[in-house]
Structure 1
Amino acid sequence: MRVRKKKWAIPYMDKHPEYLINDPEKYLGKWENRFKNNAPIHVEIGSGKGQFIIGMAKKHPEINYIGIEIQDSVLAMAVNKAVDNQLPNVQLVLTDGKDVDSFFEKGEIQKLYLNFSDPWPKTRHEKRRLTSPKFLQSYQNVLPKNAELEFKTDNRGLFEYSLVSLNNFGMKFSSVNLNLHHSDEEIIANNVETEYEEKYKEKGPIYKIVAQFT
């Protein structure tokens, strides 16, 4: 999805280096320096405007969260949310999620979230899907054994592709939900929504997969 450029975005983010990172490679093996503690680190690739990552950080202060987003005009809104909430357990990275194994060491992060990723529906674009084998390998390179990957989408094609891709990669499924917002009350209560999810959850099912790297 093309996002309209916002002239204020980059200057605003430049004023808040306490939340924004442009050069994640320099923190390889040293991410605790950004958080000043040794709490577990969870990462979201494709954070968008930040509603999910900020919501998780508020709900779980015992966990450190890193949101990765490639579009500066979108990430600026996530930075704004972090500033407004003054959260010590959030960092936001302006970069491409395909390079995670170039700025995290093995075992440095404990969990990964993929929320409403671009489905790249054309066959020739399969390698761009965030659940394709190439991406799964990069995630496995940085996550410890048995670490979880949580995936949500409203795109049936991407959901089905992801089920097959994760299975073929040898991952173990903890749960597969075909209609997240019609689950039991506890699952719904523990679900933190993205902006997209909040807007489109009534228009069709939201699919969710939780799987572990073995």
Structure 2
Amino acid sequence: MRNKIKRFADNAARENIIEPGKELYEQIKGCWNERYFEKDQPITVELACGKGDYTIGLARRFPDRNFIGVDIKGSRIWYGSTTAEEEQLRNVAFLRTQILLIENFFAENELSELWITFPDPRPRDKDIRRRLTHSRYLKMYQKILKDGGIFHLKTDDLPFFDFTMEMLQSFPIRNLTQTTDLYQSPLLEEHFGIQTTYEKRWLKEGKKINYLRCEMLKS
């Protein structure tokens, strides 16, 4: 508990975390490149980012892009925020909010790319609408992504992966690429060796990693 309280205090003092109680939290929508980032660059968002493994990994590799990790758990994003501060990564931010409220923080066409890495698959039927690739979420992603913006999903859960593929059939997309065994696929080269905490765990247990990428269109 003491560590969590300290992390929350750190978060409140950090510029790279946008959370309730801070001025930018209410004003950042549509203004990320103008109000937060030092450079006007394409924006990539990682949803349900946890400790921000992917956000940080991509930001290191692509200094010519801006990256935002989104998660409701402040004690998780503290880790990514800490790494960004230690490495002086100026192209990284973290947003603490529920993903269901994502349209409150990003304007239409503001994002170039969106990642979802190992989300809770919500396997119970009564939780279908809470799955982060349910159509109600995909509609929001379609809106905040630019026309042709790239959507990525990585998951160890094959039923969830199949569910996502089914949901995407109702949306205008192009250049869909997918695999149910990423580590035996040429697509692995596109992941730059970045692994989340969960990904490392699932690989150690011998699970296969499912991955898809597509461009989301407006119509």
Amino acid at match of 2:215: Q
Give the conservation status (yes or no) of the 8 Å contact 1:68–1:93: yes
1:144 Cα offset (Å): 1.4
Amino acid at match of 1:211: C
Taking only the aligned residue pairs, the percentage that are identical comes to 27
Distance 1:25 1:157, change over 3 A: farther
Structure 1 residue 167 corresponds to structure 2 residue 169: yes
Matched positions, count: 210
Amino acid at match of 2:32: W
Distance 2:83 2:67 in 1: 14
Structure 1 length as normaliser, TM-score?
A: 0.92
Which residue of structure 2 lines up, in the alignment, with residue 8 of structure 1? Answer: 6
Give the conservation status (yes or no) of the 8 Å contact 1:50–1:81: no
Distance 1:167 1:173 in 2: 13
Root-mean-square deviation over aligned CA pairs: 1.9
Which residue of structure 1 lines up, in the alignment, with residue 72 of structure 2? Answer: 70
Residue pairs, 1:50-61, within 5 angstroms: 50-61=52-63
SS of 1:55 mapped into structure 2: helix
Which residue of structure 1 lines up, in the alignment, with residue 107 of structure 2? Answer: 105
Distance 1:186 1:116 in 2: 16
Distance 1:79 1:131, change over 3 A: same
- From 146, 151, 154, the equivalent of 1:152 is 154
Structure 1 residue 22 corresponds to structure 2 residue 19: yes
Amino acid at match of 1:51: D
Amino acid at match of 1:83: E
Amino acid at match of 2:208: P
5+ long unaligned stretches in structure 1? none
- From 174, 182, 185, the equivalent of 1:183 is 185
1:11 Cα offset (Å): 0.7
Which residue of structure 2 lines up, in the alignment, with residue 137 of structure 1? Answer: 139
